[in-house]
């Protein structure tokens, strides 16, 4: 081969190496170009019809209770699907879960899971949500769960599937120190014991980092940035701020709550979320 040809060949090899190197770096990007996350909010009390246009400017979806929220005897969200849908909101359907103290025996746990799944499915149908929609069971407790509680969660998931809705679980994504070098994340504990692949996880982790604090990022992070790789939804802010967990987070108001951009009067404190879709409870 003549010298000029050798020189050209060398240039081509070098260029190919650079291209392969760049391609490798791109493949390691946790959020490739064209993959988007969507911002949403949730709160226990319906903010009112008048609040929806302002909230819709920042959020693509909203939590929607199918049962009274924790600590409440009534539910102000019921009947609001139509007005929210008209504003373009997607949904996170929520049903209040039992506490571990309410489930002393395994038999009671299984029956409770069945009853809650049937009640959640009936409430979803009454409000016009289609079969196949994801309903998240609200699990407020963190740490490692005992066998009876895992039986409750399994009964919930299996029974909801029989009701033709897709099971989801809202739970902690925060690392808990159990002592003696042992740690646990509630979502991992639940997933390992549930033994079902078709369950959607909505995790909360409002520690900074990984949480960006009380804000709606221009480029919302992926739910996997929560520290739970399989999460479909990440609640990165809870109101009021959990001082023990989120004490280093910025953006909260002086009362410790988080408010939507544009809510200058601080009328509607809320929790903030990101999801892989603008309608996380939509059926497949």
Per-residue pLDDT tens digits for 153-171 = 999 999 999 999 999 999 9
Per-residue pLDDT at 15: 35
DSSP 185-199: EHHHHHHHHH--SS-
Closest CA to 190 of 231, 132, 134: 231
d(CA 30, CA 223): 11
> On the CB side of 253, how many CA atoms lie within 13 Å of its CA?
18
φ, ψ dihedrals at 152, nearest 5°: -60, -45
Distance of CA 242 to the CA centre of its chain: 18
10's enclosing H/E stretch is helix 3-27
Asked if residues 61 and 278 have their Cβ atoms less than 8 Å apart, the reply is: yes
**Segment holding 160, helix H or strand E:** helix 147-162
Residue 23's pLDDT band (cuts 50, 70, 90): very low
Mean pLDDT over the full length of the chain: 89
Residue 193, class by beta-carbon neighbours within 10 Å (0-12 exposed, 13-18 middle, 19+ buried)? middle
The DSSP secondary structure of 55-123, one letter per residue, reads HHTT-SEEEEESSPPTT-SS-S-TT-HHHHHHTT-EEEEEEEPPPGGG--SHHHHHHHHHHHHHHHHHH
Cα 91 to Cα 135: distance, rounded to the nearest angstrom:
10
pLDDT of the residue at 86: 98
Interior/surface letters 83-99, b for 16+ CB within 10 angstroms, e for the rest: ebeeeebbbbbbbbbbe
pLDDT higher at 11 or 256:
256
Is residue 35 very low, low, confident or very high in pLDDT (cuts 50, 70, 90)?
low
Distance CA 78, CA 123 (A): 9
pLDDT tens, 103-114? 977 788 999 999
Contact 170, 202 (CB under 8 A): yes
Q: Residue 273, Cα to own-chain centre: how many angstroms?
A: 6
3-state DSSP assignment of residue 211: coil
Closest CA to 138 of 214, 235, 276: 235
Torsion, Cα 252 243 168 66, to 10 degrees, reads: -70
Task: Flag whether pLDDT at 17 surpasses 90.
Answer: no
């Amino acid at each position: 081969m003549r010298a000029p040809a050798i020189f050209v060949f060398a240039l081509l090899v070098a260029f190919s190496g650079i291209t392969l190197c760049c391609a490798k770096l791109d493949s390691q990007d946790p959020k490739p170009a064209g993959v988007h996350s969507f911002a949403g909010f949730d709160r226990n009390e319906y903010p009112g019809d008048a609040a929806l246009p302002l909230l819709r400017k920042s959020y693509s979806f909203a939590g929607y209770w199918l049962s009274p929220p924790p600590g409440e005897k009534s539910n102000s969200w019921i009947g609001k699907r139509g007005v929210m849908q008209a504003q373009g909101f997607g949904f996170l359907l929520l049903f209040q879960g039992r506490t571990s103290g309410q489930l002393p025996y395994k038999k009671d746990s299984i029956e409770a899971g069945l009853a809650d799944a049937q009640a959640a499915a009936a409430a979803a149908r009454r409000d016009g949500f289609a079969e196949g929609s994801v309903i998240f069971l609200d699990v407020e407790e963190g740490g490692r769960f005992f066998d009876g509680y895992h039986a409750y969660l399994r009964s919930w998931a299996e029974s909801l599937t029989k009701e033709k809705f897709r099971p989801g679980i809202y739970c902690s994504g925060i690392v808990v120190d159990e002592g003696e070098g042992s740690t646990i994340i509630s979502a991992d504990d639940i997933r390992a014991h549930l033994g079902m692949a078709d369950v959607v996880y909505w995790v909360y982790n409002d520690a900074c980092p990984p949480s960006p604090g009380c804000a709606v990022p221009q480029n919302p992070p992926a739910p996997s940035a929560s520290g739970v790789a399989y999460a479909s939804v990440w609640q990165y802010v809870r109101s009021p701020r959990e001082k023990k967990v989120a004490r280093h987070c910025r953006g909260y108001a002086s009362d410790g709550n988080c408010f939507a951009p544009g809510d200058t009067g601080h009328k509607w404190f809320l929790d903030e979320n990101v999801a892989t879709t603008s309608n996380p409870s939509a059926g497949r």
